[in-house]
Amino acid sequence: MASEKPLCLKGEKDLPELVVSLGSMLWHRTGSWRYLRPEYREKPAPCGHACPAGNDVEKFLRLASEGDFDGAWRTILAASPLPGVCGRVCFHPCEKACNRGRYDRPMAIQAIERFLADQASVRGLAIEAPPIGSSPDRVAIIGSGPAGLSCAYHLRLAGIKPVVFEAEGALGGVLRHGIPAYRLPKDVLDREIAMLAAIGIEFQTGRRVGKDVPWEAMGEYPAVFAAAGAHRGRRLGIAGEDGGGVLGGLEFLRQVALGLRPDIGKRVCVIGGGNTAIDAARTALRLGAQVTMVYRRSKAEMPAHPEEVEEAEREGVEIRFLLAPAGVAREGDGIVVEFQRMALGDPGADGRRTIVPAGGRNVFIRFDSILVAAGEDADFSFLPPAVRAEKGQVVVDEWGRTSEPRVFAGGDMAMSSRTVAHAIGSGRRAAMAIARALAAGGPAEPATEAAETAEAPPGGVEPVPFEAVNTAYFEHAERCRMPVLSMAERLKGFAEINLGISADAARAELKRCFHCGRCTACDNCLIFCPDMSVRRRPDGKYEIDYDFCKGCGVCGQECPRGVVEMKLDKERRQ
Amino acid sequence: MKKVIMGNHAVSYGVRLARAEVIAAYPITPQTQIVEELSEMCSDGRLKAKFVKVESEHSAMACCIGAASAGARAFTATSSQGLALMHELLHWASAARLPIVMTNVNRALGPGWNIWTEQTDSLAQRDTGWVQLYCEDNQEVLDSTLMAFRVAEAVRLPVMIVYDAFFLSHTYEPVDIPSQEDADALLPPRKLEKGTFMDIEDPRTFSNMTPPDYFMEMRFKLERAMRRAKDEFGRAAGEWKKLTGRDYAAIETYRCGDAETVLVAASTAVSTARVVVDSLRGKGRKVGLLKMRMFRPFPYREVVDVLRRTRKVAVLDRNISFGSGGIFATEIKAALSNVPGHPPVYGYIAGLGGRDITPGTIEEIFDRTDRNGVPDDPITWIGLKP
Ligand SMILES: Cc1cc2nc3c(=O)[nH]c(=O)nc-3n(C[C@H](O)[C@H](O)[C@H](O)COP(=O)(O)OP(=O)(O)OC[C@H]3O[C@@H](n4cnc5c(N)ncnc54)[C@H](O)[C@@H]3O)c2cc1C
């Protein structure tokens, strides 16, 4: 403390040699000058926040960038058992959300996920699952698509034994019987399913619930997760639709996946604008057909992923817009399809423009066959009426709980967002709810509050906005390119188009990540603090000495990734 | 080990041997190679120092002030306009008692734009509280750099090493590069006494408000330190002589013993003057030479001891204080003014903006001094084109 006697320096000899206080100034808590208060708050990065499967994307990128590829793979596995699948077919909303996309181009997250999955497979890594608990409880899962697989996997990680009933002879749902091999080679799916079988998930194939297994048999399970997908092709509702030469798009894909070669002739018409339509068109191309896709609306309204549409066009699929099928007539050994010309109208409830007849004469086009891909509906006929369904979906809450206490549902049959990642996420959340319900002693309602805490991402909900990233610390760098099969090679068959990136390319790509919201112990705050009020903690991260921090905000400004936040200091405000 | 190197690189070697810890600099002709070489030394690990690129000389000095305040051995180099831009901080560095070492390569200030040598830039900073040492050759440049750190740290004042643009900065000469051992013997690591540097363990307030009650005392201490710098330089030079055999002092005399006319000069002109003195001595003329190495602190006693015995003093100034005269001449006059019966001082200005000072120039100065009575005008221009 300052001395109690009044300071009296008589002469030169009492003064210090340089202009400096006579004693330590530690007593002077300059923190009292503070108005703003810096705080370290790690926040979710937008990538992981956008992942419907709940992947901690930033974390796996971080571990991978540190060279820990195995740890990175295991991080993905904490959310999803299908990184090899998602690394290929996920529509990667993470990349759309990636802050780097506003700087140059987003991180190639999907390519890295695939790289990690493929290298884990090469290295023979296996899933580590805890032993199955002593409880005899088993949970029934209906459908082995991504939703069913995910639910089974997460239940198994919770020590619960799942039994999966699958109507088809092979596992995987749309991954097996829908998505063509040029996008998702079946050995990739096989190896990920094999890992699930290896941890003791029981699969019963060729067992359709409601037919091969009565619904009543589900009564022996304390919980059931229904994930039967949506497979019933919608009809066009036009004359001549039911005759020969007309095949459902998904059914066509299924037959091809089963190794059958449906006779579609040379000139093939694909009706529709969604994923099934695109995959059917590209598959037909590979069977040697000339393919014309016809869509009622315009390109902007196509539900298919834009990248897929682009690829289809590059491969030679012709797409015609604003033509609605009006009738099918048979002429000789061919088919003539009549189309009505359409025009775009006002935006509808989903934001997409609706269509109205444009007038003018109808268009007639001759084909050998038609593949109808006008959407798929779910079939709930195997479910008891007590499980409520509305607008073609089983009604569920965010934990997959249906109106029937014991019954949970997820995936395409219960969600309007029909993607692999959404299906995986729904399976995971349902597994958590089921596990909690079983732990609570039966099919009781899971405590929503506890559930939310368990699910809440670290440190808050709002992801780091681009504006919080200090881009001065990041050099522009080119995004890695996915090597692809040449056009000529592609059309010869069903070989995978995307060849995967090399380890070197992955390492270079990983350097691009901002690691939004995550303290990487870069030392910037420590170095720039003009008051030396930032201290390193034993865990390598930092703490602020509020006794001396004046709240200048330099640490917040210089934090490259939005971890340090400046807040109004509550103590100071009073 | 002897190497043939340019004057600028002699500085770089000196700074490396001094184990400087922070170097902040902004490039300016004719100083550039000093920091260029130092940056390479830092990048290839020969010198373990933090090299800070800055956006101006003002920042360079600010950075050195910060580094030195935190206890580091800090160095910068500049020239001419760059030095002028630092002016405010030169005062700060000395009054904060920071042992910063800086090289200033003498260069004329513009306009007219001129990159050649002239001493006005450094002499214009004479009142900033910096020790100033003027060098004659590349060996002296290197040795002075080492001694500068020693003096600076001993008395806690900044030191400026000064030499001529091009005549030394870009001229290659054989230079003995001292061993690291010798350098370390002369210059141990900077001693950090409690309460004199920014220490996180013992935080203090620095450079605080100092009211009229105490301000003069602080200035008194600075002046006292300045005076000590001369003794400390003597001590360092003594030790250096033991280590290397090379002899340095605040001033040097040449054939002054019985000289009737003594020429006072600094920097490379001294070498030329030595030749002229020899040749005039050969013709029986009693001429001598006084080399000013140290300009701040001004070595009054040493200068007076030499000059009081002579009949006439000529001062060669490669600089000008407009409206007054050559700056060395002004100082020499002041030094002699209280000596009863002191010799008259003739002030000559030559070689501004890099114009050559040839043996002819110096002979003309001796001739005019010997021939003429004391001119009324404090300035006699030599080599001025009429
Ligand atoms: C052609 C096509 C391409 C697609 N491409 C992509 C893509 O690239 N990326 C993407 O993210 N999404 C894509 N999707 C969507 C994605 O495939 C689905 O959202 C996802 O597969 C849904 O998973 P699921 O588990 O709910 O159902 P499904 O994958 O449909 O699996 C349901 C399973 O349940 C079985 N089943 C049905 N009824 C019963 C019963 N009663 N008893 C037992 N088993 C039964 C079925 O045989 C099937 O195996 C595509 C969809 C299609 C149709």
Geometric angle at alpha carbon B10, from B5 and B16, rounded to 5°: 125
Q: What percent of chain A has pLDDT over 90?
A: 82
> Cα–Cα distances in Å, from A415 out to A405, A412, B213?
19, 5, 82
**What pLDDT is stored for residue A204 in this prediction?**
98
* CA dihedral of B231, B232, B234, B240, whole degrees rounded to 10: 170
- Closest-CA distance of chain B to residue A30, Å: 12
Are A18 and B208 inside 8 Å of each other by CB? Answer: no
Decide if pLDDT at A573 tops 60: no
Spacing, Cα A231 to ligand 1 middle (Å):
7
Instruction: Estimate the crossing angle of helix A503-510 against helix A57-65, to 10 degrees.
Output: 110
**What pLDDT is stored for residue A560 in this prediction?**
96
Cβ-contact A253, A278 below 8 angstroms: no
pLDDT average, residue stretch A189-193: 97
Spacing, Cα A179 to ligand 1 middle (Å):
9
Instruction: Given the cut 0.90, state whether the ipTM is greater than it.
Output: no
- B215 interfacial to chain A (CB closer than 8 Å): no
**What pLDDT is stored for residue A574 in this prediction?**
53
Quick one: which H or E segment has residue A62? helix A57-65
Atom of ligand 1 nearest to the CA of A172: 49
Is any atom of ligand 1 closer than 6 Å to the C-beta of A143? yes
* Of residues B196, B204, B217, nearest to A25 (C-beta): B204
> Cα–Cα distances in Å, from A305 out to A89, A250, A298?
11, 17, 14
Q: Which residues of B touch A16 (CB under 8 A)?
A: 195
pLDDT average, residue stretch B26-43: 97
Geometric angle at alpha carbon B122, from B119 and B124, rounded to 5°: 100
List of domains in chain A: 138-231+378-455 (3.50.50.60), 236-374 (3.50.50.60)
Which amino acid appears at position B222 of this protein? L
Residue of chain B nearest A16, judged by CA positions: B218
Is any atom of ligand 1 closer than 6 Å to the C-beta of A80? no
- Closest-CA distance of chain B to residue A196, Å: 53
Average confidence score pLDDT of chain B: 97
Collapsed DSSP state (helix, strand, coil) of residue A435:
helix
Q: What is the spatial distance between Cα A218 and Cα A381, in angstroms, rounded to a whole number?
A: 15
Is any atom of ligand 1 closer than 6 Å to the C-beta of A110? no
Average confidence score pLDDT of chain A: 92
Decide if pLDDT at A1 tops 50: no
Are A15 and B207 inside 8 Å of each other by CB? Answer: no
pLDDT band at A442 (very low <50, low <70, confident <90, very high): low
Q: What is the spatial distance between Cα B382 and Cα B357, in angstroms, rounded to a whole number?
A: 9
Decide if pLDDT at A447 tops 70: no
Which amino acid appears at position A49 of this protein? H
Q: What is the spatial distance between Cα A13 and Cα A26, in angstroms, rounded to a whole number?
A: 25
Strand segments, DSSP code E, in B266-321 are 287-292, 294-296, 312-317
pLDDT average, residue stretch A195-201: 95
- Closest-CA distance of chain A to residue B221, Å: 7
What HEC string does B4-55 produce? EEEHHHHHHHHHHHCCCCEEEECCCCCCHHHHHHHHHHHHHCCCCCEEEECC
Residue B201 burial (C-beta neighbours within 10 Å; 0-12, 13-18, 19+)? exposed
- B324 interfacial to chain A (CB closer than 8 Å): no
Q: What percent of chain A has pLDDT over 70?
A: 95
Residue of chain A nearest B207, judged by CA positions: A19
Tokens of B308: 């009081």
- Closest-CA distance of chain A to residue B299, Å: 23
Bridge partners (DSSP) of residue B52 are: B24
Is any atom of ligand 1 closer than 6 Å to the C-beta of A90? yes
Q: What are phi and psi of B196, to 5 degrees?
A: -120, 0
Q: Which residues of A touch B152 (CB under 8 A)?
A: none
* Of residues B196, B218, B225, nearest to A15 (C-beta): B218
Q: Which residues of B touch A17 (CB under 8 A)?
A: 97, 156, 196, 221, 225
Tokens of A178: 């829908």
Select from A310, A415, A420 the residue to mutate for testing ligand 1; criterion: most ligand atoms less than 8 Å from CB.
A420
Q: Looking only at Cα atoms, what is the longest distance across chain A?
A: 121
List of domains in chain B: 2-244 (3.40.50.970), 251-381 (3.40.50.920)
Q: What are phi and psi of A68, to 5 degrees?
A: -90, 75
Decide if pLDDT at A439 tops 90: no
More confident residue, A6 or A340: A340
Cβ-contact B2, B175 below 8 angstroms: yes
Q: What is the spatial distance between Cα A479 and Cα A234, in angstroms, rounded to a whole number?
A: 40
Are A20 and B208 inside 8 Å of each other by CB? Answer: yes
Bridge partners (DSSP) of residue A247 are: A371
Strand segments, DSSP code E, in chain B are 2-6, 22-25, 50-53, 74-78, 101-106, 131-134, 159-164, 172-176, 251-254, 261-265, 287-292, 294-296, 312-317, 345-349, 380-381
pLDDT band at A571 (very low <50, low <70, confident <90, very high): low
Q: Which residues of B touch A20 (CB under 8 A)?
A: 195-196, 204-208
Q: A384-422, pLDDT tens digit by residue? A: 999 999 999 999 999 999 999 999 999 999 998 999 999
What are the residues whose beta carbons fall under 8 Å from the beta carbon of B56, sequence distance 6 or more?
A: B26, B85
Are A15 and B205 inside 8 Å of each other by CB? Answer: no
Is any atom of ligand 1 closer than 6 Å to the C-beta of A418? yes
Among protein residues, the one whose CA lies closest to atom 50 of ligand 1: A275
Decide if pLDDT at B73 tops 80: yes
pLDDT average, residue stretch B296-314: 97
Residue A30 burial (C-beta neighbours within 10 Å; 0-12, 13-18, 19+)? middle
Using alpha carbons, select from A446, A464, A456 the residue that is nearest to residue A519.
A464
Cβ-contact A59, A94 below 8 angstroms: no
pLDDT average, residue stretch A289-315: 93
- Closest-CA distance of chain B to residue A536, Å: 14
Atom of ligand 1 nearest to the CA of A411: 26
